[in-house]
Chain A
């Protein structure tokens, strides 16, 4: 586990490069736990089925890619401060998928459909941020309200009819190279982009500062309103993009498309080591968290657990992670 290449980030440059310090540095990374859990779950699946299958891992990674996008969208909002969650996320995902499939700007004009869908995501983010910043409504209430409004849009657009996107876009997302799917590559690229935005730009640094201590950030000249706008727009765009990918890759849409992504997105963020009170994020961690959740689900199916036991175990995984993180952060104080 102690490969020097993994820990070669900015933080450890100043330290002396002994194997022990690298090991310690690695263990401090919040997502290492999730990575180890993912590997263990993969080995467990191998044990159950009798073969350690790369294609099983990649199939689960493809599905985890969708969840990771939802998780990252949620994470951008969680980062902005204590108690901030985006409950409109599943509705943005579903509405985005419908906008993509409805052919509002012509069924063959895929770039325009994608652009329109992303615009919808931006609009959802702007409305959320406006409610929170201008009217001082708590994020949970504001995003829930936006979600309900979006749901009525979903019902309306659904009766207008929709059809499969298909074509080159679908073929590209379903393209498989040794089991590595096109849609997984697209999801990974998106995550890299978001990771860059959150860790290497002024916006990202200020967002984290705001989440860690709002008052200190304000005194330091950080403008809360604009940052919240950025966080919610980022969340909306990512959710809409997820809607696009799901609609095209899965070949169909339904009104409950996004439903599983509300709890799933929060769970992936938590397991990935992001602090739920804001200020600390990890895109890699969220991706790992999504992979853990997906693999755990598959393992439980392979182990032929009853559905009740499956829910209990999945809930316990999230709960145990939160407890572990709470204990660890108390130790540090």
Chain B
């Protein structure tokens, strides 16, 4: 009992200490932003963090000192809840959250918001808690751009192989629905076969390779994320030409596209959900903390990167790197937050 009380006292003391220090930090325009990432095991997340750090450095150079406190939940929503509560206890000024669940984190978000710490959810999806600021990609825009480019190149017709993502995933279904909606304008593009690539380069490649001999001519491949590289390798390993497909932002994708272009004049573009949203999120956080009126729902842009841009800006990038777009603070204010 006694030890229990002592611990409570200690916790209160700690809380007081952190509150004092964060109050001190605010006084000289220093923002501590907690970044809760889901896992660091992939290129996209690496790009997300790099973009966040880039934006923080840019802002710091302009006199708004931004510090990031990054925590990694290793894929576990339960861990993420604890990390969110810890960030709240530490008294960070803002929390950027890639939520591992749309419901499980609601309580922890409430804790943060009632402690006066705004929470912004982004990248992995939204949460059902309306107190969280939401910065998301518009999958309809993704579908329009993706299908639009392919339809323009093929004159709105052709046989397509559709590689879906992870079965049962909400984002997967949303992206697929967006493709189908965009495809309804082009009835002459026919999906001749559909496989699930599990958002896994290796699985996508094997599934495509196993049915490839039975397929008629495939003019187009539709895919999500990392599957484009796997699909191309399946066609190459079978000695067939790589059909028209849109590539992602991973170094493997970019290098393959550049390589195909050098060898045979193959043309395409890269369209992806942009890891640069990490930078956007930091900009939004600083805007909010600086007193700008930030809407509760915002849309992150979906960039389309042409072959020419890839050649000039990203030639010789490492396979393990990822392309992300640099969004400045002023650009974010004008185009994402919509401040006057």
Binding stretch for chain B, among A118-126, A130-138, A157-165, A226-234: A157-165
Which residues of chain A (279-299) have a CB below 8 Å from chain B? 294, 297-298
Q: Are B40 and A163 in contact (CB under 8 A)?
A: no
Instruction: Out of A164, A255, A256, A298, name the residue touching B211 (CB < 8 Å).
Output: A298
| A213 neighbours in B (Cβ, 8 Å) | none
Q: Are A63 and B200 in contact (CB under 8 A)?
A: no
A interface: dominant SS:
helix
B137 to chain A, nearest CB (A): 21
Known: A254-B226, A260-B203. A164 touches B210 (CB 8 A): no
Binding stretch for chain B, among A18-26, A68-76, A186-194, A301-309: A301-309
| A260 neighbours in B (Cβ, 8 Å) | 198, 200, 202-203
Q: Are B202 and A250 in contact (CB under 8 A)?
A: yes
In the bound complex, CA of A252 to CA of B205 (Å): 11
Which residues of chain B (299-340) have a CB below 8 Å from chain A? 318-321
B310 to chain A, nearest CB (A): 17
Q: Are A304 and B319 in contact (CB under 8 A)?
A: no
Known: A56-B213, A162-B320. A249 touches B203 (CB 8 A): no
Known: A176-B239, A254-B202, A307-B167. A45 touches B194 (CB 8 A): no
In the bound complex, CA of A260 to CA of B205 (Å): 13
Binding stretch for chain A, among B62-70, B96-104, B229-237, B270-278: B229-237
In the bound complex, CA of A260 to CA of B19 (Å): 47
Q: Are B201 and A252 in contact (CB under 8 A)?
A: yes
Known: A252-B233, A252-B319, A297-B207. A155 touches B40 (CB 8 A): yes
Q: Give how many B residues have a beta carbon under 8 Å from the other chain's beta carbons.
A: 40
Known: A56-B214, A307-B167. A250 touches B318 (CB 8 A): no
Q: Are A250 and B230 in contact (CB under 8 A)?
A: yes
Which residues of chain B (238-257) have a CB below 8 Å from chain A? 238-239, 252, 255
From B41, B205, B212, B255, residue with most partner A Cβ within 10 Å: B41
Q: Are B213 and A63 in contact (CB under 8 A)?
A: no
Known: A162-B320, A294-B210, A307-B196. A255 touches B202 (CB 8 A): no
B277 to chain A, nearest CB (A): 20
In the bound complex, CA of A164 to CA of B214 (Å): 29
Residue of A nearest to B210 (CB): A298
Chain A residues within 8 Å of B, Cβ to Cβ: 45, 49, 51, 53, 55-56, 59-60, 62-63, 66, 101, 154-155, 158-159, 161-164, 174, 176, 179, 181, 246, 249-252, 254-257, 259-260, 294, 297-298, 301-302, 304, 307-308, 310-311
Top 7 A-B pairs ranked by shortest CB distance? A55-B213, A56-B213, A255-B41, A161-B320, A307-B167, A298-B210, A49-B214
Residue pairs across A and B with Cβ atoms less than 8 A apart, 14 shown, are: A56-B214, A59-B210, A59-B238, A158-B320, A163-B318, A179-B213, A252-B233, A252-B252, A256-B199, A259-B203, A298-B214, A301-B207, A307-B167, A307-B168
